[in-house]
Structure 1
Amino acid sequence: MEVILREDVEKVGAGGEVVDVADGYARNFLFPRGLAEKATKAKIQEVKAAQKAKEKAKAENREAAQAQAEKLESEKFEIAVKAGEEGRLFGSVSTHDIADKVEAAGYEIDRKKIDLDENIKDLGAHKVTVKLFEDIAAEITVNVVAKEEE
């Protein structure tokens, strides 16, 4: 029996897929739990149209992420913080600080997508990776400088 999965089902398929399963499995497991619905020609056409729209949106997002990555890599971001002697910071520069600085420059990024093993604790230039899309990442330069005392 052909069914359209509403959700991911382990060892069967992903949500939105049209799969062929045993009649009893569909009637006794998938349908009662709301995991699938019977595949009709009209519903299969709907699923195909939705998949095309999803693929088109994904392609557009990929292009936008690629363009944003190129722009981000060409810029340098400077963060001024209080520092002691020998270039050690009082505190540290976190992903939150980096995200704020990048957003202030006009880019929209999620701080959870900034790949920073541990907070920056030294002055100087640091390379930081920002994941923008599934396989697209930008390596930005964050220059940490000492804040001038007033």
Structure 2
Amino acid sequence: MKVLLVKDVKSLGKAGEIKEVKDGYGKNFLVAKGFAKVATDEVIRAWEEEQKRKAQEEAEEIARLNALKERLEGMKLVITKKLGANGSLFGAITNHDLADALKAEGIDIDKKQIHLDGAVKATGLYEADVKLGHGIHATLKFEVVGE
């Protein structure tokens, strides 16, 4: 019997492959456990359409992330923080502060996606790496000013 693998099966093959297996193994294990479907023309056609749809969605997501990268790299964020008596900041600027400042600009990025090299404890110009997904990284430039 021919089956279309829906998930990777260690000893058989990867998802999307069509394999010839014994009837009992195909019906009682692969299909019953949800690892495969019986390879009819309709199942194969539906699988191909699903893969095309997923590829289209991924391409749209990558285009959206590249546009967001251009927007992030083109902006200069200004973060205002209280200064102490000696001119240093009260506390440090963290990725949470950057995420909040971006949210105020209308860009919703999780603080876990923002990476700072070391603590920001003084006024000046800094850069942060923003991981957007699909291997796309943006460099966010921001300025820390005292109030």
Same fold (TM over 0.5): yes
Q: Which runs of 4+ in 1 moved over 6 A?
A: none
**Does the aligned pair in 1 maintain the 2:37–2:43 contact within 8 Å?**
no
Q: Cα gap change, 1:91/1:42 in structure 2, threshold over 3 Å: closer, same or farther?
A: same
Match of 1:13 in 2: 14
Evaluate the alpha carbon distance shift between residue 75 and residue 10 of structure 1 in structure 2; reply closer, same or farther with a 3 A threshold: farther
Give distance in 2, aligned partners of 1:60 and 1:119: 35
- Normalising by structure 2, we get a TM-score of 0.81
1:4-33 superposed Cα distances (whole Å, 9 cap, x missing partner): 33344446324xx23326436534542332
Check 1:142–1:20 CA distance in 2 against 1; reply closer, same or farther (3 A cut). Answer: same
TM-score of the aligned structures, taking structure 1 as reference length: 0.79
Q: Deviations over 1:90-146 (max 9, x none)?
A: 222222211111121122323222223554333221111112231221101121222
3-state SS, counterpart of residue 78 of structure 2: strand
**1:47 alignment partner in structure 2:** 47
1:114-125 matched pairs, under 5 angstroms: 114-125=114-125
Q: Aligned runs of 1:19-58 on 2, under 5 Å?
A: 19-20=18-19, 22-23=21-22, 25-27=25-27, 29-58=29-58
Sequence identity (%): 38
Q: Which moved more, 1:125-134 or 1:31-40?
A: 31-40
AA matched with 1:37: K
